[in-house]
């Protein structure tokens, strides 16, 4: 038996990664697809009249073996990529796109679903069953099940090609990140704090090198840009970081981005939409490109005004260093760090020892215990990497989930941070509890040293744990609506909301303890840190909103003839400050081009932030961050119900109304900018 299909004997039926070899995945997927196609044929060709049980339920349970293969494969491929695994991803992409089309463009299956949908009022369905039926029917229509002839065939081709291109985009980006590094001499280390030097040494050791290097891992390149007084080295590192995917040769993503945009526009046209943004946003809270643009521009104006004020102050600091010319993007973080030290008397080198990784994990756990009664116990099980760790999550002694954390950057690991489910919650087949993983890219310390985080790192940890709570607390029958299976511009609400608990003073007073002395963070330092929480939000907001506006412009209307020219045009129209660049330039904009997930949807973080700022105010209005009644409402109406109802309905059930942009601007310190 292929080990991927063998009975799982580890606690809670966790996958046994130690039993899987790379050569197991391809034959396992072929076997799984063969069985799934037989299941599909049985459902679609069933001579019996369609019922909810023999059509919707049967389709929901179809293809279980595919998930047994893909769930562990894509996790290890994203956190420990190798040439073999990259080859498998390229091989799998078109096959899986083809399988998706076979299901969602299957006319006979769609006819059965359509029959049920048209007679839904007579079927005596529960609210959840009705929702699942409506979403199933919608997914078929949006996938092209109603198309015929050449249009039907062309859409299938487009989907398969997009799957290939998304994989290529991701792998090119990973290759650029993996291959570049800059060696540092002893003189080049001057001015760098100890934690950056230690991280640079650890990065060199990971590549089998002596000395110190800067890589394109965010956890190393950003602090280097913050602290290195060597403007020439900052420029070299920054330009390499922002040139990912645009270096020419085999890993250049610019032609891929153009082809993706062309195919998305053609796909939308085939389905009867004006453009891809109109197609994509139809099922989101925002609904239309105009609504997205309105929100982004409401935030852009005060953010740009603040960034312009900040740029003038940073230029003064640069002049004081004897540097003439314009403030450049590789200067911003360095002089911003200097300014923060002066205006807020806050030095990150003094702050980091209080933000130990293990303590911040415990802080996230503790908050979830006080809010939702969750408890965490370490599990001794084999995982995909020695750095990963797992916990059994319980409530009142009952198993809720398995939570896995994989926190350190390494070669072959996709950049960024994310949450995914190795197994999602559902009750249709059995009472299945989820296996949830948080992946981050924090700097790994030298052997025996504690892992120290920046404040931004700690926020990332809380953010991803908010996603994990959305998965772990899910309590629905159907996997298709469980956990984070919600509108893209709603999915970031739980994650961004959870970030707020990192700012609660009592949480930091308990868990922010010095790595060497164990002493809690001094009150004065805590006050400075929280007081600087909105520091440099002009920069952060501008780089984010610019990316979101470019993403929207790519998809709102015909595909651009030259995406890089379109990017430049949009940035010129909005008056992008010279010293700030997009957070994600087109050639490395993985959110948008690695798949359809955030295409036309990068705005989602800000749309959700409007809600998360308002949602945290609900706790404060009720008496505090740990108000039990508000926490219960949050679980009942948002965290446990997945996509049971439309996102705006869920939020109004929790809060009683939809919010405005005011709380967001206040939270970012932009509410008083002229």
Q: What is the dihedral of CA 346, 193, 350, 497, to 10 degrees?
A: 70
Q: Is 121 exposed, middle or buried (0-12, 13-18, 19+ CB in 10 A)?
A: exposed
Q: What is the DSSP letter of 14?
A: -
Catalytic, 464? Answer yes
Residue bearing tokens 């490395």:
588
Tell which phi-psi region holds residue 413, choosing left (phi > 0), alpha (psi between -120 and 50) or beta.
Answer: beta
Taking alpha carbons only, the member of 603, 549, 598, 583 closest to residue 244 is: 583
Per DSSP, which regions of 268-379 are E strands?
Answer: 374-379
Q: Locate all alpha helices (DSSP H) within 383-435, ordered by sequence.
A: none
Q: What is the distance between the alpha carbons of residues 471 and 24, in angstroms, rounded to a whole number?
A: 28
Hey, what are 637's tokens?
Answer: 């109406």
Print burial letters for 605-627: b (CB count within 10 Å at least 16), e (below 16).
Answer: bbbbbbbbbbbbbbbeeeeebbb
CA dist 432 to 288, 380, 571, Å? 37, 21, 48
CB 665 within 8 A of CB 674: no
Q: What is the distance between the alpha carbons of residues 517 and 521, in angstroms, rounded to a whole number?
A: 11
Taking alpha carbons only, the member of 178, 190, 177, 182 closest to residue 213 is: 182
Q: Catalytic pick from 464, 479, 609, 635?
A: 464
Q: What is the distance between the alpha carbons of residues 170 and 164, in angstroms, rounded to a whole number?
A: 10
CA dist 217 to 74, 196, 214, 452, Å? 21, 12, 8, 16
Among all residues, which ones are annotated catalytic? 464
């Amino acid at each position: 038996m292929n080990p991927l299909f063998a009975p799982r004997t580890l606690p809670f039926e966790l996958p046994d990664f130690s039993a899987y070899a790379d050569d197991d995945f391809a034959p396992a997927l072929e076997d799984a697809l063969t069985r799934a196609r037989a299941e599909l044929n049985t459902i679609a060709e069933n001579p019996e009249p369609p019922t909810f049980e023999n059509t919707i339920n049967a389709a929901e349970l179809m293809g279980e073996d595919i998930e047994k293969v893909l769930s562990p494969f894509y996790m290890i491929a994203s956190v420990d990529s190798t040439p073999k695994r990259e080859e498998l991803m390229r091989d799998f992409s078109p096959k899986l796109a083809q399988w998706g089309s076979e299901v969602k463009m299957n006319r006979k299956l769609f006819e059965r679903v359509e029959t049920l949908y048209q007679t839904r009022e007579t079927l005596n369905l529960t609210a959840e069953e009705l929702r699942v039926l409506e979403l199933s029917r919608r997914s078929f229509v949006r996938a092209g099940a109603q198309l015929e002839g050449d249009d039907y065939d062309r859409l299938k081709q487009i989907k398969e090609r997009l799957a290939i291109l998304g994989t290529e985009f991701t792998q090119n980006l990973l290759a650029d990140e993996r291959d570049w590094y800059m060696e540092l001499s002893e003189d080049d280390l001057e001015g760098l704090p100890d934690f950056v030097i230690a991280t640079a040494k650890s990065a060199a050791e990971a590549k089998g090198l002596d000395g110190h290097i800067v890589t394109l891992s965010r956890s190393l390149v950003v602090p280097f840009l913050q602290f290195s007084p060597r403007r020439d080295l900052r420029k070299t590192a920054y330009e390499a970081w922002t040139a990912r995917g645009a270096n020419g040769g085999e890993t250049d993503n610019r032609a891929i981005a153009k082809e993706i945009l062309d195919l998305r526009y053609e796909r939308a046209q085939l389905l009867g939409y004006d453009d891809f943004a109109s197609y994509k946003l139809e099922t989101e809270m925002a609904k239309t490109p105009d609504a997205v643009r309105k929100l982004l521009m409401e935030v852009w104006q005060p953010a740009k005004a603040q960034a312009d004020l900040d740029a003038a102050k940073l230029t003064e600091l640069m002049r004081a260093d004897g540097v003439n010319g314009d403030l450049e993007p590789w200067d911003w973080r360095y002089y911003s760090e200097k300014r923060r030290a002066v205006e807020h008397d806050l030095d990150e080198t003094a702050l980091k020892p209080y933000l130990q990784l293990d303590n911040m994990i415990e802080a996230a756990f503790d908050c979830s215990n006080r809010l939702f009664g969750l408890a965490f116990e370490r599990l001794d099980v084999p995982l995909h990497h020695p750095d990963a760790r797992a916990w059994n999550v319980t409530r009142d002694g009952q198993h809720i989930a398995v939570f896995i954390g994989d926190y350190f950057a390494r070669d072959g690991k996709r950049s960024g941070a994310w949450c995914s489910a190795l197994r999602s919650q559902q009750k249709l087949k059995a009472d299945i509890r989820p296996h949830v993983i948080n992946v981050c890219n924090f700097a790994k310390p030298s052997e025996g040293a504690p892992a120290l985080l920046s404040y931004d790192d700690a926020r990332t940890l809380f953010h991803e744990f908010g996603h994990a709570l959305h998965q772990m607390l899910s309590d629905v029958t159907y996997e298709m609506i469980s956990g984070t299976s919600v509108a893209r511009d709603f999915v970031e609400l739980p994650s961004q909301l959870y970030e707020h608990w990192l700012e609660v003073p009592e949480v930091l007073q308990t868990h922010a303890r010095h790595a060497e002395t164990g002493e809690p963070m001094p009150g004065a330092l805590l006050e400075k840190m929280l007081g600087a929480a909105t520091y440099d939000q002009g920069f952060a907001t501008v780089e984010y909103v610019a990316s979101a506006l470019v993403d929207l412009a790519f998809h709102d209307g015909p595909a651009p003839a030259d995406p890089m020219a379109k990017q430049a045009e949009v940035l010129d129209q909005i008056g992008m400050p010279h010293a700030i660049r997009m957070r994600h330039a087109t050639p490395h904009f993985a959110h948008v081009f690695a798949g359809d997930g955030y295409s036309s949807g990068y705005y989602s973080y800000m749309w959700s932030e409007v809600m998360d700022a308002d949602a945290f105010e609900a706790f404060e209005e009720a008496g505090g961050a740990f108000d039990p009644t508000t926490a219960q409402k949050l679980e009942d109406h948002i965290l446990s119900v997945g996509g049971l109802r439309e996102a705006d309905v869920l939020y109004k059930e929790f809060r009683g109304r939809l919010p405005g942009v005011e709380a967001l601007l206040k939270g970012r310190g932009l509410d008083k900018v002229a």
